[in-house]
Chains A and B, each alone.
Chain A
């Protein structure tokens, strides 16, 4: 199985940039298609799709969210961070089955 590694916690100040990383145990890219996706989950709520195929913003997601990366290293950036962005963020790969998730990064306020 492809293992996705995320840092457990990231502390950030409001108005600053947050950079959340996800590293895969093997490449999740096929040619130029990067099969990494990002979700946001607030406490007590279901996950919400933010970014698909590494860099495409899902419908209704604010432009302060962006994604980048290829191969094994991917990044979700939130700039600037707002109070409403305090949540857990999960990466997920669809390069091969089983479709695994990272353990999540909890975004906290400094």
Chain B
């Protein structure tokens, strides 16, 4: 059974940093692209970052480019999101997601971790 378990969320002040983690199990982690998708309170979904199987390629929307960094450790079956220069608009539940085998949709999702950016 595919399992994705996020951790690392919490309350952080504007301008500060936070690092999220996602522990994966139930599949061969190194074979799949992975992603982070976020959801602001009572709002819709926003793709935040994607990383290739080896970690050599990363992709971001303009809203987080230059501030967020996605990374992975295939030996530990773990995915990470380093978030710097946080803004109030980054407040959201952050989901770890596994890309599908054959394309850029999200076949499996974790339960999410809440990040609140506030002074």
Q: Would B44 and A47 count as touching, CB distance under 8 A? A: no
Q: Would A49 and B106 count as touching, CB distance under 8 A? A: yes
Report the interface size for chain B: residues with CB under 8 A from the other chain: 20
Given A98-B47, A99-B47, A103-B44, check contact A35 B103 (CB 8 Å): yes
Of A39, A45, A52, A98, chain B has the most CB atoms within 10 Å of the CB of A98
Name the CB-closest residue of A to B45.
A101
Interface set, chain B 55-89, CB cutoff 8 A to A: 59, 61-62
Check A23 for interface membership: any CB of B closer than 8 A. Answer: no
CB distance from A56 to the nearest CB of B (A): 10
Of the candidates A47, A98, A104, the one whose C-beta lies within 8 Å of that of B109 is: A47
Q: Would B110 and A46 count as touching, CB distance under 8 A? A: yes
Please report the C-alpha to C-alpha distance between residue A105 and residue B107 in the assembled complex, in whole angstroms.
Answer: 20
Q: Would A49 and B103 count as touching, CB distance under 8 A? A: no
Count of A-B contacts judged by CB separation below 8 Å: 54
Given A52-B103, A94-B103, check contact A46 B45 (CB 8 Å): no
Chain A, interface size: which category? 20 to 34
Q: Report chain B residues within 8 Å CB of A72.
A: none
Check A90 for interface membership: any CB of B closer than 8 A. Answer: yes
Please report the C-alpha to C-alpha distance between residue A46 and residue B37 in the assembled complex, in whole angstroms.
Answer: 11
Chain A 99-110 interface mask (CB, 8 Å, partner B; 1/0): 111111000000
27 contacts between A and B (CB under 8 A): A37-B106, A46-B109, A46-B112, A47-B95, A47-B109, A48-B109, A49-B108, A52-B103, A52-B107, A53-B103, A53-B105, A58-B107, A92-B45, A92-B105, A92-B106, A94-B104, A94-B105, A97-B61, A98-B47, A98-B61, A98-B62, A99-B47, A99-B104, A100-B47, A101-B47, A104-B44, A104-B45
